[in-house]
Amino acid sequence: MIQLSHESDDLLSSYTHVEPFVREGDEVDGGQPIGRIYVDEPGPAGCLPHLHQEMSYTIDGEPERYRVDPLSLILI
């Protein structure tokens, strides 16, 4: 799993079933590859190549995360 905190707001992006190219604490730039979908069949989880992507945000700084439909966001 790769989780990215977005500096400009309270968004958290999560990507699972991926081979990470980054490590915890790394800073990344927009457009920088952070990983790839496992291409081995089956992958480490015993499933065909696929990606789970989730976005969440905090409200009023509360630690509880609220899920967001990624298609509803415009990320540049």
Considering only residues 48 and 62, tell me which one the structure prediction assigns the higher pLDDT: 48
Report the alpha-carbon distance of residue 63 to residue 71 in Å, rounded. Answer: 23
Over the chain, what is the mean pLDDT?
76
Residues β-bridged to residue 55: 13, 68
Write the pLDDT tens digit of every residue in 11-36. 788 888 888 999 999 999 988 999 98
pLDDT for residue 23? 93
Report the alpha-carbon distance of residue 31 to residue 63 in Å, rounded. Answer: 28
Residue 7's pLDDT band, with cuts at 50, 70 and 90, is: confident
Report the alpha-carbon distance of residue 64 to residue 74 in Å, rounded. Answer: 23
pLDDT of 8 higher than 80? no
Among 48, 49, 18, smallest CA distance to 34 is for 18
Considering only residues 13 and 68, tell me which one the structure prediction assigns the higher pLDDT: 13
